[in-house]
Amino acid sequence: MSQSSIEWTEMTWNPTTGCDKVSAGCKFCYAEVMSSRLKAMGVDKYKDEFKVRIHESELRRPYSWKKSKVVFVNSMSDLFHKDVPIEFIQKVFKVMKENPQHVFQVLTKRADILRYYDSEGLLNWSHNIWMGVSVESQKVEHRIDNLRATNARVKFLSCEPLIGPLPKLNLKGIDWVIVGGESGRKPRPMKPEWVTNIKDQCLDADVAFFFKQWGGTNKKKAGRQLEGQTWDGMPSIANEF
């Protein structure tokens, strides 16, 4: 586990590492770049660079954290990648359930696999497991339907990097929406009207809205204000922790 600079979480925990690209949102995958760096530094966990690997030893970690944490699960992978055995996913879920003092945020682009496992009754949910799907453009909005069909107690969308408008989001059953622009050397632009439109849809539907960043080539300078303010909405269940 390590401290995270991601604005909507506190820590990251990676019981699996590695992945491969599935949609346009993956184009400049941070995890891929970072895995390559960590391999070059000789970090054992990344010796196969971006190949999917499971790490049984990581399963013990959450039991040892003293204070309550908000934890982003698998910042360096996708828990629902086809190469992660369901038995291992179930072990991760067991760890999360047995540590109700922490919030675990799981984010996937493989919403079809998530839905399938859930429909088969293979996932044992608890209130502290927040399940999210990435929605970078209208092309992948079907992921929201897959998420909605699951029994996850808290459901969220990560619209980052937002690379197109999402004017007709179906937010039924959704608790939280995060929006962010792409950063790096050649970021794809995010139009302000796309962001304000999503924010307005969230306000209308009474869904918590979090604006992470504008992104761009100078992420720090571009900042994270929208219409003169920061938007740090979190699901109301967050108040219970």
The residue among 143 and 199 lying less far from ligand SF4, judged by its C-beta, is 143
- Taking CB under 6 A as the rule, does residue 78 contact ligand SF4? yes
Among 1, 29, 34, 226, binds ligand SF4 (CB under 6 A): 29
65: left (phi over 0), alpha (psi -120 to 50) or beta: beta
- Taking CB under 6 A as the rule, does residue 26 contact ligand SF4? yes
Q: Which span sits near ligand SF4 by CB under 6 A: 25-33, 64-72, 83-91, 169-177?
A: 25-33
Least Cβ distance, residue 120 to ligand SF4 (angstroms)? 22
**Distance between CA atoms of residues 155 and 144, nearest Å:** 9
- Taking CB under 6 A as the rule, does residue 21 contact ligand SF4? yes
Least Cβ distance, residue 213 to ligand SF4 (angstroms)? 16
x-or-dash string of contact with ligand SF4, 108-127, rule CB under 6 A = -x------------------
* Contact of 180 with 187, CB cutoff 8 Å: no
Which residue is it, tokens 């969230």?
A: 202
Report the candidate in 236, 233, 237, 191 with the shortest Cα–Cα distance to residue 214: 191
- Structural tokens at position 154: 């808290």
Q: Which span sits near ligand SF4 by CB under 6 A: 26-34, 159-167, 184-192, 231-239?
A: 26-34
Helix (H) or strand (E) holding 132: strand 129-134
CA distances, 182 to each of 44, 64, 195 (Å): 29, 34, 13
The residue among 109 and 224 lying less far from ligand SF4, judged by its C-beta, is 109
The residue among 48 and 232 lying less far from ligand SF4, judged by its C-beta, is 48
What does the DSSP 8-state code read for residue 38?
Answer: H
Report the candidate in 138, 169, 139 with the shortest Cα–Cα distance to residue 156: 169
Q: Which span sits near ligand SF4 by CB under 6 A: 28-36, 60-68, 90-98, 194-202?
A: 28-36
- Taking CB under 6 A as the rule, does residue 24 contact ligand SF4? no
- Taking CB under 6 A as the rule, does residue 84 contact ligand SF4? no
| CA dihedral sign, ordered 57, 62, 63, 65 | positive
* Interaction site with ligand SF4 (CB under 6 A): 19-22, 26, 29, 31-32, 77-78, 109
